[in-house]
Structure 1
Amino acid sequence: MTTTPASPDSTMEAIGQAVIEGRAGDIATARQKLLDIWSTTGATGDPLHRCSLAHYMADLYEDPAQALAWDIRALDAADSLTDQRVQEHHTALQVAGFYPSLHLNLADNYRRLGSFEAATEHINAAHEHAPNLPQDAYGALLRTAIEQVSEAITQRNTAKRASAPGHPA
C-alpha cells in the first residue's frame, strides 16, 4: 500500500529497519533489535509502536506458539489505536485496515497449533474485516492468504503455508 508519511517517527523507522534486516535473512539481528525496542516501548507504550513491532516480531518465529504470543499483542495494541494516531504516521492509514491481517495471522497460528475452533473464529473475523482492505496488490495478497488459511482450517491442515510471512519452513 502506498501511503504518505505524515511525520517522522524514529521508533517506526527503527522497527522498519529491523523488518528489512529480518526479510533479508538476518533473523537473529532483527529479533534482537525489535526486542530492544519492545523493552523501551513496553506493554503500555504507544499502541502504534506496539502493534507494528508485535506484528512484525511474530513473523520472526517459526514456532506458531511464539508467533501467536506476538500476534495477540499486536491485536491488543490495535484495539487501543485510533485513526488519528495512525494518520500521524501515514495519512492514508485507517485502523480498520489492520484487522484483516491481524486476524489472519492469529487464525494461521491457531491452525498450525491444531486449535481449529479458535482458528475458525479468527478467520471469520478476517473475512468480516476484509472489505477494509485496499483494492491493490497488498489487499489481493491478504485476500488470497485469508482464503488459503480458511481452506487449511477446513482441511484440518497444520502445515506451514508456503506463502506465510517469515523465513522459509
Structure 2
Amino acid sequence: MTRIGQAVMLLHGGDREEARNRFGQLWSELGEAGDAFHRCALAHYMADTQDDPGDELAWDLRALTAAAGLGEEPATGDRADGDRPDADRPDADRPDADRGDDGAADGERGAGGGAGGDRLAEAREGVPGASSVVRAFYPSLHLNLAADYLKLQRPEAARLHLDRARDAADALGDEGDVNGVRAGIDRLERQLRGR
C-alpha cells in the first residue's frame, strides 16, 4: 500500500504518466493471484490515469472484480450486460464503437479524484473484517462504472450501475464517508436525465 500511495501522490500532483507507469509495474508484480484488496485499490487508481474511456472502463471493471474477491458480493454487484468475467484482460470490454467523451466530468468519479477518493488506501485501518471494507467500496465502484458507461454513450449500462451505486450507498446509511459519493450519484443522475 505504501508504493500504491506514492503513485497516488504522483497522480494527485498531476503526473498521470509516471503514476500510470508505476501502477502498471505494481500490477505486473501483483499478478492474477495477488491480494484482492491491493488489486482493487490499484485498479481503482489506474482507471484514473487512463486517457481512453474504454481503458478506464476496463480498469474499473478490474476493481469491481477484485472487490468481489474480498469475500462479499452483495446483490448490487451482479454484472451488467457488457460486464464480462474476463475483465482482467487488458482489452476487456473495449467497445468497437467511437470512444468519444460525451461530457461526463471527472468529478463524476466521486470524491477525491476517483470514487471513494483515498478511502481505498486507508480502508483497512481500524475496520474489523473485509466485509465492512467491501460494503464501503461498492457505491464508489459502481459510480465509477456508471460514469465510464456514460462517457462511452451506453446509457442503459450507466443507469444500471448508477442504480447499484445508489442502492449500495443507501444500504450504508450514514456509515463511512458516503456523502461525496452521494453527491457524485446526484450529479451523474442529472447528466443521465439530460441525455
TM-score range, shorter chain: 0.7 to 0.9
TM-score normalised by the chain length of structure 1: 0.77
Runs of 4+ off more than 3 Å: 86-89, 133-136
Give the alignment of 1:8-157 within 5 angstroms. 12-82=1-71, 89-92=124-127, 94-131=133-170, 132=172, 134=174, 138-156=177-195
RMSD over aligned Cα atoms: 2.1
Partners of 1:97 and 1:133 within 8 A in 2: no
Q: What is the one-letter code of the residue matched to 1:90?
A: E
- What is the alpha-carbon distance in structure 1 between the residues aligned to residue 27 and residue 158 of structure 2? 27
Structure 2 alignment gaps of length 5 or more: 73-120
Number of aligned positions between the proteins = 142
Q: What is the one-letter code of the residue matched to 1:115?
A: R
Partners of 2:124 and 2:133 within 8 A in 1: no
TM-score normalised by the chain length of structure 2: 0.67
- What is the alpha-carbon distance in structure 2 between the residues aligned to residue 90 and residue 14 of structure 1? 17
- What is the alpha-carbon distance in structure 1 between the residues aligned to residue 174 and residue 20 of structure 2? 29
- CA shift for structure 1 position 37: 0.3
Q: What is the one-letter code of the residue matched to 1:107?
A: A
Q: 1:134 to 1:58 in 2, by over 3 A?
A: farther
Deviations 1:128-155 (A, max 9, x none): 001326567x421111001111221122
Partners of 1:68 and 1:110 within 8 A in 2: yes
Structure 1 alignment gaps of length 5 or more: 1-11, 157-169
Q: Which structure has greater helix proportion? A: 1
Partners of 1:104 and 1:146 within 8 A in 2: yes
Q: Matched residues, percent identical?
A: 42
